[in-house]
């Protein structure tokens, strides 16, 4: 069994395995309970996750549900001490919980990409988390690096495919270190994989009730296999006549994101392009300090994390911005069916930024725990509702 520490959460202790969303038998009705696996990871992961949980606890108290949690130690420190990266037994245990809350993974003391592949990619693959949902919303024009763009201009969501593409790991390096070295990384797209994420994107777009425009972002003019995206997009689109089908090649899409972000409503794209374009998205909404994501398999265990990395140089300085982690907690609540609680966090975050209570999202502008306190207090005061 995995070595894991139980947090000293004000909500219920996590040691005992209980069925999720338990309701009481017989007498008094027990509160709804969600079981989450907490993976703080590396660098600033621990401090931002702490603030995310702080805000989570505040809404749980208001809305009357419990969040049981188990904290897992995986990341660089644990790996260097034990040579254990992400044990199968821990993954199996997590699979019985309702959600995973991840801080950040990555550390210069470990070979580039190793822990990322073992932990982030390991969780995405193990639980078939085929959607990477990345909302991009600007809350205050002062946070946007683009000239003359207002909150109404930057309001979109990217649906990134999350299990295939060049990430799938098919390929390898042959004759390594020789002049005849060959490196191959195959871009894999299965009909099932493409169709399910495209259908999910149409559904997201339908529910957004905004422009109802779904943009497929690909590179089918150069990568011929991506024709599978073009065809599937059109076919599934027949089920959604109310949604405008739009298309942009990835290079042009990057340009439009910067030039005319107001064009976009919902985007759907293969894994690698989604990775890249959502970093642009993070910048135009105010930076990595606010961008969050959900690695989702609808109806099943899913993982929520800030988009930012572990920023090792800021570790332990209490200077990272935890809003991205707080936003990730908000997305997790949505997934857990706690829409009201999620809305409270959304309102509070928007409020503290709109009103200038938090004026900068840059690391060091505020103390990490100070931002957590500000958002928690705003939640408690019902701010922005
Ligand atoms: C992300 C990250 C990861 C990715 C890395 C850390 C493997 O950049 O979640 O966007 O490329 O998916
Ligand atoms: Mn990325």
CATH code for position 181: 3.40.50
Q: Quick one: which of 49, 9, 50 has its CA closest to 33?
A: 9
Of 39, 41, 120, best ligand 1 pocket probe by most atoms within 8 Å of the beta carbon: 120
311 and 381 fall within a common domain: yes
275 and 223 fall within a common domain: yes
Q: Give residues (CB < 6 A) around ligand 1.
A: 116, 120, 275, 307
346 and 247 fall within a common domain: no
Q: What is the pLDDT at residue 27?
A: 54
Residue stretches of the chain with pLDDT short of 70: 1-28
Asked if the structure places residue 158 within a domain, the reply is no
Asked if the structure places residue 10 within a domain, the reply is no
Q: What is the pLDDT at residue 338?
A: 98
262 and 342 fall within a common domain: no
Q: What is the pLDDT at residue 24?
A: 42
Indicate which atom in ligand 1 lies nearest the CA of residue 121: 7
Asked if the structure places residue 9 within a domain, the reply is no
Q: Quick one: which of 157, 141, 160 has its CA closest to 149?
A: 141
For atom 5 of ligand 1, the residue with the nearest CA is 116
Task: Tell me the residue range of the domain where 175 lies.
Answer: 167-285
For atom 11 of ligand 1, the residue with the nearest CA is 275
Tally the C-alpha atoms within 13 A of residue 175's C-alpha that lie toward its C-beta: 5
Tally the C-alpha atoms within 13 A of residue 171's C-alpha that lie toward its C-beta: 14
Q: What is the pLDDT at residue 210?
A: 79
The protein residues having their C-beta less than 5 angstroms from ligand 2 (an ion) are 275
* Domain count within the chain: 2
308 and 380 fall within a common domain: yes
Q: Which of 155, 219, 265, 366 is catalytic?
A: 219
User: Which tokens in the block code for residue 157?
Assistant: 């969501």
What CATH number does the domain containing 79 carry? 3.40.718.10
233 and 198 fall within a common domain: yes
Q: What is the pLDDT at residue 5?
A: 45
Indicate which atom in ligand 1 lies nearest the CA of residue 113: 7
Which residue, of 285, 310, 335, is where some domain finishes? Answer: 285
Indicate which atom in ligand 1 lies nearest the CA of residue 305: 9
């Amino acid at each position: 069994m995995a070595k894991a520490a139980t947090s000293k959460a004000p909500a219920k202790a996590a040691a005992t395995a209980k069925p999720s969303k338990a309701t009481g038998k017989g007498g008094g009705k027990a509160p709804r309970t969600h079981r989450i696996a907490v993976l703080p990871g590396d660098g600033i992961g621990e401090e931002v996750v702490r603030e995310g949980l702080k805000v989570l606890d505040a809404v749980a108290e208001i809305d009357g549900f419990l969040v049981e949690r188990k904290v897992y130690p995986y990341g660089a420190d644990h790996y260097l001490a034990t040579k254990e990266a992400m044990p199968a037994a821990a993954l199996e245990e997590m699979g019985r919980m309702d959600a995973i809350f991840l801080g950040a993974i990555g550390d210069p003391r470990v070979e580039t990409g190793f822990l990322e592949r073992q932990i982030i990619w390991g969780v995405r693959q193990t639980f078939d988390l085929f959607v990477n949902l990345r909302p991009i919303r600007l809350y205050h024009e002062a946070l946007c690096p683009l000239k003359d763009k207002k909150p109404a201009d930057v309001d979109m969501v990217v649906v990134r495919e999350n299990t295939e593409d060049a990430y799938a790991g098919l390929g390898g390096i042959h004759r390594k270190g020789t002049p005849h070295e060959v490196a191959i990384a195959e871009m894999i797209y299965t009909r099932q994989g493409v169709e399910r994420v495209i259908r999910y994107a149409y559904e997201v777009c339908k529910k957004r009730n905004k422009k109802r425009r779904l943009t497929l972002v690909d590179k089918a003019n150069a990568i011929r296999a991506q024709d599978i995206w073009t065809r599937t997009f059109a076919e599934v689109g027949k089920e959604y006549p109310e949604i405008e089908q739009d298309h942009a090649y990835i290079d042009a899409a990057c340009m439009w994101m910067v030039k005319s972000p107001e064009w976009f409503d919902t985007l759907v794209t293969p894994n690698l392009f989604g990775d890249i374009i959502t970093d642009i998205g993070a910048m135009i909404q105010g930076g990595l300090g606010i961008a969050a994501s959900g690695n989702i398999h609808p109806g099943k265990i899913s993982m929520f994390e800030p988009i930012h990395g572990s920023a090792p140089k800021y570790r332990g300085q209490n200077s990272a911005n935890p809003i991205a982690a707080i936003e990730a907690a908000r997305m997790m609540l949505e997934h857990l069916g706690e829409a009201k609680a999620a809305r409270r966090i959304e309102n509070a975050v928007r409020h503290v930024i709109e009103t200038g209570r938090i004026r900068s999202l840059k690391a060091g502008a505020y103390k990490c725990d100070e931002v957590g306190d500000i958002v928690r207090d705003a939640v408690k005061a019902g701010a922005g509702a």
